Chain A
């Protein structure tokens, strides 16, 4: 039997009852659509979260005080008898391959500018914060490098500027932060949120002043940004040695951006696949549908098979014919599913433009492959039964 004959045979078999074929295929279609759509949403969420984490640049090593043995509350927030100091920051700046070192102290305070006041986050940071966190200054300049005690200068986040100054130019004016007067020297560009922390609704002041203002002995975190000339392992090792030499023991925790991203990535991948697996249930039910319909088609076509066998078709050919039919049926379902998906994606894009959806061509291929596989598996048992029919009995069935 030629390939063309096989194909036309299958086409006739499928087209005899178009409604039945369409319904069977649509079961598969819904399944494929669910799997691909859910995996795409999972992938979209993963992209979104990874991006929001890596927007600070990928060459960051974060140092927090205290060796976490218990976990729970992030150790930087607690008081510690072994603080990270501004002297540690100065020492880290002298390490080779280190580009920028940013001390971090975070708290809240009331910020007053003229008649307006706002309770919001205050970050004590260092110079070159813009370069370290990929966080550009939109007007004015960032905190300057200073020797000795810093001056009372402040940089406003975009939202804080808007709330306190409206359309007026804040540069050069004075604001009160936690009772002290600061001169505004710059405004940052909008950056967005990270884990519920709004970086735009904040002001940035020198870390040593923030330590005084909050009456803290130690920093909450030190971010070290290293040059491309080195790797995070090498820099991490150098930092560890330096701080152990300074503190006498390892009383701090290092976290490289790579560690953080890879553990986040692992969690998000698990999430993605478990969401996709939910869609697989629907696909499984669709497969049961194909199995049922193929079995019924078999029982209706027993005499036909008998005739074919009597005319010389081999068992293998009968098997192949049935399998081809169920695979084509499933592929049709896969194609329908992908079309449905495209439609849904367009709608989603129009209605909820922010929805994290990342449909990748490879998923479409996988969808087609999976529908093929479903067709093969579901068609196997009816096809085997068809092939094993005794031609004489089958013919008599008429």
Chain B
């Protein structure tokens, strides 16, 4: 039997049993569509989360005060340790550790911010100049203060755009004096855009020099340090160097945690990938159910076509050819299921992209490949045994049944 004959024969059978073929393709398509849709949903979520981290850049390390012996747990984000990271530490790190390009010190707190009669509570961040390029923040109007040493306080502030709107409305804010608690600051720059990350919207923040923030909140330590390192240096090596330097600065005691955001992002990405696969695996159960239906229908089909099989065998068809006939039929149905399933999910994704344009919707090729393979495999494996039953028929008995 030639391949062309095989295809024509099978297509004829499928068309003659339109209803049955349609139902089978429908059930396979449901399985394919749900699996691929869930994978692409998971992928979209993953790329969204990774995008949230992208502001950190690939050349940044974070230093938290405090340390825990138990590894693998959360870094000590509370920023409260028996021994603070001081501004002097930051200065020394910048000057004496090779590979450190910039150090951004950070003091964070909440304080009321007011202009004339308007007041709002908000986040106040004490930062050094380097903070803005490291966090990829751009100043739209005015500019960041320059040339203020880390340990000198100065009455200047950069404000987020939301703060500007709330306090100044349509008036110009540059050069005005705002009040943060009982300290006065002159607005020298206004942040562009919203630049939000992890739910904390930096456009609602007020930025002042680190030393000023330490006075304002009456603290001596830093909430954390963000270090930019030369990209040519190995990241893990840099972590070790900074740890060694901090140990030296803190009387031989390592009491800070240096976090490599890359490693954190990688582990979060891994977790999301596993979850995506788990959810897709659950959806693939429906493919199993569709497979059972394939088996059932092939069995029925074999029963109904016993005479036909007997005739074919009588005129010289081999058992292998008969088996091929039935398995091929199932495989063709599988292909139909894959195509219509992918079409369904592509249409749904198009609709999703209309509704939620923020996420990047896409069908990853590996998922398509995997789902197609699994579907084809399911269809053929479940058709194999019933097809074997047909192949093993005795032609005389089969013809006699007709």
Mark A residues whose CB is within 8 Å of B: 19-20, 23-24, 26-27, 30-31, 34, 38, 65-67, 69-73, 75, 77-82, 105-110, 118-122, 163, 177-179, 196-198, 201, 213-217, 220, 251, 275, 278-279, 281-282, 284-286, 288-289, 291-293, 295-296
What are 8 A-B contacts defined by CB distance under 8 Å? A38-B282, A77-B78, A81-B112, A279-B282, A281-B285, A285-B27, A292-B19, A292-B20
Whether B34 and A281, one on each chain, are in contact in the complex, defined by CB atoms closer than 8 angstroms, is yes
Whether B110 and A108, one on each chain, are in contact in the complex, defined by CB atoms closer than 8 angstroms, is no
Chain A residues, Cβ within 8 Å of B110: 65-66, 75, 78-82
- How far apart are the CA atoms of A220 and B23 in the complex, in Å? 62
Whether A214 and B82, one on each chain, are in contact in the complex, defined by CB atoms closer than 8 angstroms, is yes
Whether A295 and B19, one on each chain, are in contact in the complex, defined by CB atoms closer than 8 angstroms, is yes
Question: In the complex, how many angstroms separate the beta carbon of A288 from the nearest chain B beta carbon?
Answer: 4
- How far apart are the CA atoms of A72 and B289 in the complex, in Å? 44
Question: Counting CB contacts under 8 A, is B279 at the interface?
Answer: yes
Q: Which of B27, B109, B199 contacts A72 (CB 8 A)?
A: B199
Q: How many residues of B contact A (CB 8 A)?
A: 67
Whether A70 and B255, one on each chain, are in contact in the complex, defined by CB atoms closer than 8 angstroms, is no
Question: In the complex, how many angstroms separate the beta carbon of A70 from the nearest chain B beta carbon?
Answer: 5
Whether A34 and B220, one on each chain, are in contact in the complex, defined by CB atoms closer than 8 angstroms, is no
Contact with A along B277-316 (1 / 0, CB 8 A): 0010011011011101101110110000000000000000
Chain A residues, Cβ within 8 Å of B117: none
Chain B residues, Cβ within 8 Å of A73: 108, 123, 200
Question: Counting CB contacts under 8 A, is B217 at the interface?
Answer: yes
Most chain B CB atoms below 10 A, which of A79, A279, A296: A79
Whether B255 and A110, one on each chain, are in contact in the complex, defined by CB atoms closer than 8 angstroms, is yes
Question: Counting CB contacts under 8 A, is B154 at the interface?
Answer: no
Question: Counting CB contacts under 8 A, is B366 at the interface?
Answer: no
Chain B residues, Cβ within 8 Å of A26: 292
Whether A196 and B31, one on each chain, are in contact in the complex, defined by CB atoms closer than 8 angstroms, is no
Whether B255 and A79, one on each chain, are in contact in the complex, defined by CB atoms closer than 8 angstroms, is no
With contact pairs A285-B30, A288-B23 given, residues A108 and B181 touching in the complex (Cβ less than 8 Å): no
Question: Counting CB contacts under 8 A, is B353 at the interface?
Answer: no
Chain B residues, Cβ within 8 Å of A275: 282
Question: Counting CB contacts under 8 A, is B362 at the interface?
Answer: no
Supplied contacts A72-B200, A119-B69, A292-B297, 9 more A-B pairs, CB within 8 Å:
A31-B286, A38-B282, A70-B122, A79-B217, A108-B66, A120-B68, A163-B69, A284-B30, A291-B23
Chain A residues, Cβ within 8 Å of B297: 292, 296
Whether B20 and A281, one on each chain, are in contact in the complex, defined by CB atoms closer than 8 angstroms, is no
Contact with A along B111-150 (1 / 0, CB 8 A): 1100000001111000000000000000000000000000
Question: In the complex, how many angstroms separate the beta carbon of B266 from the nearest chain A beta carbon?
Answer: 18
Q: Taking CB as reference atom, which chain A residue is nearest B30? A: A285
Whether A178 and B83, one on each chain, are in contact in the complex, defined by CB atoms closer than 8 angstroms, is yes
Whether B200 and A215, one on each chain, are in contact in the complex, defined by CB atoms closer than 8 angstroms, is no
Chain A residues, Cβ within 8 Å of B84: 215
Tell me the residues in window 11-32 of chain B with beta carbons closer than 8 Å to chain A beta carbons.
19-20, 23-24, 26-27, 30-31
Whether B120 and A69, one on each chain, are in contact in the complex, defined by CB atoms closer than 8 angstroms, is yes
Question: In the complex, how many angstroms separate the beta carbon of B112 from the nearest chain A beta carbon?
Answer: 7
List the 9 shortest-distance A-B pairs measured between CB atoms, nearest first.
A72-B200, A178-B82, A107-B80, A108-B66, A79-B109, A79-B217, A109-B82, A23-B296, A282-B286
Whether B121 and A69, one on each chain, are in contact in the complex, defined by CB atoms closer than 8 angstroms, is yes
Total contacts A-B at CB 8 Å: 195
Whether B79 and A77, one on each chain, are in contact in the complex, defined by CB atoms closer than 8 angstroms, is yes
Chain B residues, Cβ within 8 Å of A163: 69
- How far apart are the CA atoms of A289 and B286 in the complex, in Å? 11
- How far apart are the CA atoms of A79 and B218 in the complex, in Å? 9
- How far apart are the CA atoms of A16 and B341 in the complex, in Å? 34
Question: In the complex, how many angstroms separate the beta carbon of B277 from the nearest chain A beta carbon?
Answer: 13
Tell me the residues in window 69-120 of chain B with beta carbons closer than 8 Å to chain A beta carbons.
69-70, 73-74, 76-84, 107-112, 120
With contact pairs A23-B295, A289-B27 given, residues A281 and B122 touching in the complex (Cβ less than 8 Å): no
- How far apart are the CA atoms of A66 and B121 in the complex, in Å? 9
Q: Taking CB as reference atom, which chain A residue is nearest B180? A: A81
Question: In the complex, how many angstroms separate the beta carbon of B257 from the nearest chain A beta carbon?
Answer: 9
Question: Counting CB contacts under 8 A, is B7 at the interface?
Answer: no
Question: Counting CB contacts under 8 A, is B221 at the interface?
Answer: yes
Question: Counting CB contacts under 8 A, is B270 at the interface?
Answer: no
Chain B residues, Cβ within 8 Å of A121: 68
Whether B285 and A279, one on each chain, are in contact in the complex, defined by CB atoms closer than 8 angstroms, is yes
Whether B289 and A282, one on each chain, are in contact in the complex, defined by CB atoms closer than 8 angstroms, is yes
- How far apart are the CA atoms of A295 and B204 in the complex, in Å? 64
Question: Counting CB contacts under 8 A, is B216 at the interface?
Answer: yes
Whether B81 and A108, one on each chain, are in contact in the complex, defined by CB atoms closer than 8 angstroms, is yes
Question: Counting CB contacts under 8 A, is B236 at the interface?
Answer: no
Chain B residues, Cβ within 8 Å of A109: 66, 81-82, 255
Question: In the complex, how many angstroms separate the beta carbon of A249 from the nearest chain B beta carbon?
Answer: 9
Chain A residues, Cβ within 8 Å of B83: 178
Question: Counting CB contacts under 8 A, is B253 at the interface?
Answer: yes
Whether A214 and B80, one on each chain, are in contact in the complex, defined by CB atoms closer than 8 angstroms, is yes
Chain A residues, Cβ within 8 Å of B245: none
Whether A217 and B218, one on each chain, are in contact in the complex, defined by CB atoms closer than 8 angstroms, is yes
Question: In the complex, how many angstroms separate the beta carbon of B107 from the nearest chain A beta carbon?
Answer: 7
Whether B219 and A288, one on each chain, are in contact in the complex, defined by CB atoms closer than 8 angstroms, is no
Chain B residues, Cβ within 8 Å of A220: 78, 80
Chain A residues, Cβ within 8 Å of B111: 80-81
Whether B70 and A215, one on each chain, are in contact in the complex, defined by CB atoms closer than 8 angstroms, is no
Whether B109 and A108, one on each chain, are in contact in the complex, defined by CB atoms closer than 8 angstroms, is no
Whether B283 and A70, one on each chain, are in contact in the complex, defined by CB atoms closer than 8 angstroms, is no
- How far apart are the CA atoms of A107 and B111 in the complex, in Å? 22
Q: Which of B109, B221, B282, B289 contacts A286 (CB 8 A)?
A: B289
Chain B residues, Cβ within 8 Å of A278: 34, 38, 279, 282-283
Whether A78 and B109, one on each chain, are in contact in the complex, defined by CB atoms closer than 8 angstroms, is yes
- How far apart are the CA atoms of A23 and B300 in the complex, in Å? 11
Q: Taking CB as reference atom, which chain A residue is nearest B281? A: A278
- How far apart are the CA atoms of A354 and B299 in the complex, in Å? 42
Question: Counting CB contacts under 8 A, is B52 at the interface?
Answer: no
Question: Counting CB contacts under 8 A, is B365 at the interface?
Answer: no
- How far apart are the CA atoms of A34 and B296 in the complex, in Å? 20
Whether B181 and A81, one on each chain, are in contact in the complex, defined by CB atoms closer than 8 angstroms, is yes
Chain B residues, Cβ within 8 Å of A281: 30-31, 34, 283, 285-286
- How far apart are the CA atoms of A70 and B110 in the complex, in Å? 10
Most chain B CB atoms below 10 A, which of A30, A67, A251: A30
Contact with A along B236-264 (1 / 0, CB 8 A): 00000000000000000101000000000
With contact pairs A72-B200, A78-B109, A108-B67 given, residues A282 and B80 touching in the complex (Cβ less than 8 Å): no
Chain A residues, Cβ within 8 Å of B68: 108, 119-121, 201
- How far apart are the CA atoms of A214 and B198 in the complex, in Å? 27
Tell me the residues in window 195-222 of chain B with beta carbons closer than 8 Å to chain A beta carbons.
198-201, 204, 216-221
Whether B279 and A213, one on each chain, are in contact in the complex, defined by CB atoms closer than 8 angstroms, is no
- How far apart are the CA atoms of A185 and B79 in the complex, in Å? 28
Whether B66 and A107, one on each chain, are in contact in the complex, defined by CB atoms closer than 8 angstroms, is yes
Q: Which of A34, A71, A108, A178 contacts B285 (CB 8 A)?
A: A34
- How far apart are the CA atoms of A288 and B279 in the complex, in Å? 22
Whether A110 and B253, one on each chain, are in contact in the complex, defined by CB atoms closer than 8 angstroms, is yes
Chain A residues, Cβ within 8 Å of B20: 292, 296
Chain B residues, Cβ within 8 Å of A31: 286, 289
Tell me the residues in window 179-193 of chain B with beta carbons closer than 8 Å to chain A beta carbons.
181
With contact pairs A27-B292, A70-B204, A120-B68 given, residues A110 and B82 touching in the complex (Cβ less than 8 Å): yes
